[in-house]
Amino acid sequence: MNINLSFNSISASATELLAVFAVDASDPKVRGGQPAIRLLASDAALQSAAEAVLRGGEFKAEPCETLLLHSPGGLAAVRLLVVGLGKAGKLTPHEVRKGVGTAVRFAKPRGLKEVALVTPEADGLDPRLTIRAMAEGAVLGDFDSDTYRSDRKDRSVEKVDVLAPGSPDREAAGAALREGVIVAESQNFARTLVNEPGNRLTPTVLGQRAAEMCREFGLECEVDSADKMRELKMGAFLSVTQGSEEPPALIVMRYSPSGATDGPVLGLVGKGITFDTGGISIKPADSMEKMKYDMAGGACMIAAMRAIAQLQPRVRVIGIVCAAENMPSGKAQKPGDVQIAMPAGPDQPGKSIEIINTDAEGRLVLADGITYAKQLGATHLMDAATLTGAIGIALGLINAGGFSNDEDAWARFATGLKTSGERFWRMPVEDDYRELIKSQIADIKNSGGRYGGAVTAAMFLKEFAGETPWIHLDIAGVSWSDEAKPWLASGPTGAGLRSIVEWIRSYGN
């Protein structure tokens, strides 16, 4: 997709589809009142073209509602699409992002290859964040997951013009557009990885894809397998891999900008289980095919490194992805086994872990990944994983779960959510929950039972983060969408990527 910023006249834009946004500006204090539809554009010809149909009352400007007009009078565009953004008082750049995605996905099945988007004019909308959100919405809306269909039709939108004739700062607008494209293309890169079947994206192939990305964008990358893991005494990680014929991959990526020799070193750790059967504690057959997405946290971390290599924040970052398959076999670990995690230092023993459930494998690979990130010099940690089904039970499929042992680290993350538009709900990591993962035979056990499953999984990881500022993102409930949304295709979502990038940038501005 080719995205351009244009400061030319809206009415003179000769495009296949011109999209403009509208809100319901009715007074929320008046109960039962009729919607007052307001077009978010001051262009007189555009207002005139849409006026009659908006007065008719059939269009309510509800979020992602669309209204198509052919041959709109006074405009050079062939078609005019009005996209609703909901109540005027609730308008944010994220609603604009969804509205733009809706316009792009409206164009795709109709074979329209070019779309022009009118930058919404509204009090309270940050112009820079709005233009960035528009770029993101367009790129994300163009993604589809039908990769291997023999009848796949390429219906991509080839050209998008973002029309901003009233922009007061054209240089800032251009920079915002470039940021949005970089972030959204990286999110789509994560979605592409997550979409790959387990037979085509093994741990080895995931390592190759990460290395190719690093070469393209100038990052350092090292991919090792079981020999390196044995050298590092990564007993928790290795225990997950032993049931599979596929070798594991330990992926380490480094971003080291010039002039950032002092200050924090951010460690990103991603769960990269390329297929998860549950191991000996095998999952039910129903929907197991989706377990190819159990590497979504690792995909997010690889994609985050891709984004920051281009955005170039002044902070050092180490990205680690622990990639493996979790398979049942005669060599697989069993419930009741005891594994020894990677030692925190040369003179320290690794924590002993009683395996209660082999399907609680993500926390095992992350435990060694977190320890390794600290040994490589990370002073601040973030991990991302499709870690527990329990987070979906707790929060539904709307919010993802966030956990942290550090107020400053979490405050930075929470502030970034205003830009990313993603929804995370902070969950507790109080000491009382640690009682649930105490083991009689070992230091800790890898499952705390039925209650508070997402919290006890986080408490397990907290054992390895120690006193290092740390954030854990449990994205299991939001990384895959069975239902297509007006602005986003069904399948992998790339959830978490935008928020991770904003957190990194908060340390490098």
In the annotation, is 418 catalytic?
A: no
Residue of 159, 283, 423, 426 with catalytic role: 283
Q: Which residues contact 481 (CB under 8 A, 6 or more apart)?
A: 397, 488, 490, 491, 493
For residues 200 and 148, the answer to whether their CB atoms sit within 8 Å is no
Enumerate the β-bridge partners of residue 425: 401
Reading phi first (left if > 0) and then psi (alpha if -120 to 50, else beta), residue 345 is in beta
- Per-residue pLDDT of the chain (509 residues), as tens digits, is 999 999 999 999 999 999 999 999 987 766 666 679 999 999 999 999 999 888 888 999 999 999 999 999 999 999 999 999 999 999 999 999 999 999 999 999 999 999 999 999 999 999 999 999 999 999 999 999 999 999 887 789 999 999 999 888 999 999 999 999 999 999 999 999 999 999 999 999 999 999 999 999 999 999 999 999 999 999 999 999 999 999 999 999 999 998 887 899 999 999 999 999 999 999 999 999 999 999 999 999 999 999 999 999 999 999 999 999 999 999 999 999 999 999 999 889 999 999 999 999 999 999 999 999 999 999 999 999 999 999 999 999 999 999 999 999 999 999 999 999 999 999 999 999 999 999 999 999 999 999 999 999 999 999 999 999 999 999 999 999 999 999 999 999 999 999 999 999 999 97
Q: Which CATH architecture has domain 2-165?
A: 3-Layer(aba) Sandwich (3.40)
Residue of 79, 191, 351, 363 with catalytic role: 363
For the chain, helix (H) and strand (E) counts, in that order, are 13, 20
DSSP string, 478-503: TSEESS-BTTB-SEE--TTHHHHHHH
The DSSP 8-state label assigned to residue 483 in this structure reads S
pLDDT number for residue 31: 63
DSSP string, 73-87: TT-SSSEEEEEEEEE
Q: Which residues contact 365 (CB under 8 A, 6 or more apart)?
A: 236, 237, 240, 271, 272, 273, 322, 324
Give the amino acid at 243: G
- Over the stretch 75-131, which tens digit does the pLDDT of each residue have? 999 999 999 999 999 999 999 999 999 999 999 999 999 999 999 999 999 999 999
pLDDT number for residue 56: 86
**CATH number for the segment(s) 186-508:** 3.40.630.10
Same topology, domains 2-165 and 186-508? Answer is no
Core vs surface per residue 321-336: b (16+ CB within 10 A) or e: bbbbbbbbeeebbeee
The pair phi, psi for residue 201, each rounded to 5°, is -125, 80
CA distance 348 to 351: 9
pLDDT number for residue 35: 75
- Nearest-10 Cα torsion for 291, 361, 458, 228: -110
For residues 478 and 187, the answer to whether their CB atoms sit within 8 Å is no
Q: Which residues contact 38 (CB under 8 A, 6 or more apart)?
A: 22, 23, 24, 25, 61, 88
The pair phi, psi for residue 98, each rounded to 5°, is -65, -40
Structure tokens at 153: 């039709």
Find where tokens 């990269």 sit: 272
CA distance 41 to 10: 9
pLDDT number for residue 53: 87
Three-point CA angle 250, 303, 156, nearest 5° = 135
The pair phi, psi for residue 345, each rounded to 5°, is -160, 170
Q: Which residues contact 487 (CB under 8 A, 6 or more apart)?
A: 64, 97, 98, 99, 100, 101, 102, 105, 137, 140, 141
Domains of the chain, residue spans: 2-165, 186-508
pLDDT number for residue 30: 64
Give the amino acid at 287: S
Give the amino acid at 376: L
pLDDT number for residue 22: 97
Structure tokens at 334: 């069993």
In the annotation, is 283 catalytic?
A: yes
Query: What stretch of H or E contains 402?
Result: strand 400-404
